[in-house]
């Protein structure tokens, strides 16, 4: 250090402990800023991860042509599933079962208590073929539902905004004028299905007095193409169907939520900018109170460059410590928290990219927050600095 003309490394560390109150307040402020950045980036990554995990490469969704990207508004004839199974050669089959899943998808008010107002939830009517196509779905507990019974996803409580204890096995919920008993719970590897309630298709159709379907999910065998399903839909113009690969459908939802994701990154920039200005104010206050000390260092022979590097070292150590604390808090308190959203619910993800952005922001706060005050402090001459009070 002396050979390079720099101050000893321990000097900057000791200075942090010489003013414990100011250092602690700065540490808390920086930790809060980095934690906010981690939360916002975790929100973005959770939304992206949920949509990315929801599609299967070999599954094609067939629904009403006029529904656009909103399957909830789709209504197709009940015979569509049988027509697809009979006319397509590329449908995957296993043990004699065609992987064609007729489904009824709707949003409705779900009551978890008898006197509660109810909250908007997602209900999907399915058959036993549905888990063959949605292979990320796994049972956590319970069994497949029978008449008057339902399965609830791991994040259904977050979507409904209720206590998870209200969606335990054996509990009763109410929607569409009927009570349903919870037969089991499932997870879907972070996919959008985790916020849904699954009911037997025929039972749900009888309750809603509907004979139609919302969509048919078709599983394709190896070598089959989604173009074959699309060709069938175009040939049967009387049915007014469209075929969209499931991965393409959720990729379109990614684009639909692009403004929300962009807004999240704007918030990250705003929070980081606010943190930089807060760091500037703190460092300006710290430097102004140390003008005499810094001038004394110049008087004993240390160059201004060495003093500036020492000030940057102090700020960087403080910001990196804040980044580590914020990351630890995010991993233990934020990671996996369920967030309610229009499409259902998803869990915040504090993954490697989130941590990289958070720690990078913390490092930026230390560097950018220390350089301007350090440069300003070096503008004083040695005589002016020694006379400062």
pLDDT tens digits, one per residue of 122-144: 999 999 999 888 888 899 999 99
Write down the pLDDT at residue 1: 45
Mean pLDDT confidence for 258-283: 76
* CA of residue 61 relative to chain centroid, distance: 25
Using CB atoms within 10 A of its CB, is residue 82 exposed (0-12), middle (13-18) or buried (19+)? middle
Contacts of 346 (CB under 8 A, 6+ apart): 46, 47, 49, 50, 155, 190, 192, 194, 195, 338, 339
Express each pLDDT in 66-118 by its tens digit.
877 778 888 899 899 899 888 888 888 888 888 999 999 988 899 888 777 77
The residue with greater pLDDT, 378 or 162, is 162
pLDDT at position 2 = 43
Run of H or E including 233: helix 226-235
Q: How far apart are CA 44 and CA 38, in angstroms?
A: 10
Q: Is there a contact between 280 and 272 (Cβ–Cβ < 8 Å)?
A: no
Give the residue, 55 or 121, on which the prediction is more confident: 121
Give residue 283's pLDDT band: very low, low, confident or very high (50, 70, 90): low
Share of the chain above pLDDT 70, in %: 84
Between 260 and 40, residue with greater pLDDT: 40
Helical (H) or strand (E) element with 144: none
User: Which among 158, 238, 145 is positioned nearest to 190, based on CA atoms?
Assistant: 158
What average pLDDT does range 363-388 have in this prediction? 70
Burial class (CB in 10 A: 0-12, 13-18, 19+), 385: buried
- Burial of 31 by CB count in 10 Å (0-12 exposed, 13-18 middle, 19+ buried)? buried
Per-residue pLDDT reduced to its tens digit, 340-363: 777 677 888 898 898 998 888 888
Average pLDDT, integer, range 155-177: 88
| Closest to 224 (Cα-Cα) out of 99, 130, 102 | 99
pLDDT at residue 253 tops 90: no
Query: In the predicted model, is pLDDT for residue 324 greater than 90?
Result: yes
Supply φ then ψ for residue 110, to 5 degrees.
Answer: -115, 125
What contacts 213, CB < 8 A, 6 or more positions away?
75, 76, 77, 78, 80, 81, 102, 103, 104
The stretches of 53-90 forming alpha helices (DSSP H) are 80-87
Residue 220 pLDDT > 80, yes or no? Answer: yes
pLDDT at residue 328 is higher than 90? yes
Please name which of 188, 176, 196, 15 lies closest in space to residue 109, comparing C-alpha atoms.
176
Residue 217 in contact with residue 84, Cβ under 8 Å?
A: no
- Top-confidence residue, 341 or 321: 321
| Mean pLDDT, all residues of the chain | 82
DSSP E strand stretches across the chain: 59-64, 93-94, 97-98, 100-111, 119-126, 138-142, 149-153, 172-175, 178-187, 196-200, 215-219, 241-245, 338-341, 344-347
For the question of whether the overall pTM of this predicted structure is more than 0.85, the answer is no
Classify residue 193 by burial, with Cβ atoms within 10 Å: 0-12, 13-18, 19+.
buried
Q: How confident is the model at residue 11 (pLDDT cuts 50, 70, 90)?
A: low
């Amino acid at each position: 250090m002396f050979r390079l003309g720099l101050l000893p490394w321990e000097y900057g560390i000791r200075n942090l402990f010489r003013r414990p109150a100011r250092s602690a307040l700065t540490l808390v402020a920086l930790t809060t800023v980095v934690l906010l950045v981690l939360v916002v980036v975790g929100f973005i990554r959770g939304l992206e991860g949920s949509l990315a995990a929801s599609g299967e490469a070999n599954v094609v969704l067939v629904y009403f042509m006029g529904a656009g990207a909103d399957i909830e508004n789709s209504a197709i004839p009940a015979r569509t599933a049988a027509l697809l199974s009979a006319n397509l050669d590329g449908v995957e089959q296993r043990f004699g079962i065609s992987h064609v899943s007729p489904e009824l998808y709707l949003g409705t008010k779900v009551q978890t208590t008898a006197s509660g107002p109810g909250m908007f939830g997602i209900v999907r009517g399915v058959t036993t073929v549905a888990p063959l196509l949605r292979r990320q779905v796994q049972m956590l507990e319970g069994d497949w539902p029978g008449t008057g019974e339902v399965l609830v996803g791991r994040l259904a409580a977050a979507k409904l905004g209720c206590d998870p204890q209200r969606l335990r096995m054996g509990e009763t919920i109410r929607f569409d004028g009927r009570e349903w008993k919870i037969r089991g719970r499932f997870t879907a590897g972070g996919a959008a299905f985790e916020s849904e309630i699954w009911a037997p298709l025929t039972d749900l159709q009888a309750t809603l007095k509907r004979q139609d379907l919302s969509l048919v999910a078709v599983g394709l065998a190896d070598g089959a193409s989604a173009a074959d399903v699309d060709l069938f839909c175009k040939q049967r113009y009387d049915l007014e169907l469209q075929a969209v690969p499931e991965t393409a459908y959720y990729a379109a939802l990614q684009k639909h939520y692009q403004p929300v994701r962009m807004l999240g990154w704007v918030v990250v920039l705003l929070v980081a900018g606010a943190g930089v200005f807060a760091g500037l104010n703190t460092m300006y206050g710290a430097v102004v109170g140390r003008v005499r000390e810094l001038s004394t260092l110049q008087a004993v022979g240390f160059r201004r460059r060495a003093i500036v590097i020492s000030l940057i070292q102090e700020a960087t150590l403080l910001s990196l410590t804040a980044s580590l604390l914020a990351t630890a808090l995010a991993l233990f308190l934020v990671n996996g928290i369920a967030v309610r959203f229009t499409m259902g619910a998803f869990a915040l993800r504090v993954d490697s990219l989130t941590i990289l952005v958070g720690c990078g922001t913390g490092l930026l706060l230390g560097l950018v927050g220390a350089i301007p005050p350090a440069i300003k402090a070096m503008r004083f001459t040695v005589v002016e600095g020694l006379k400062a009070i």
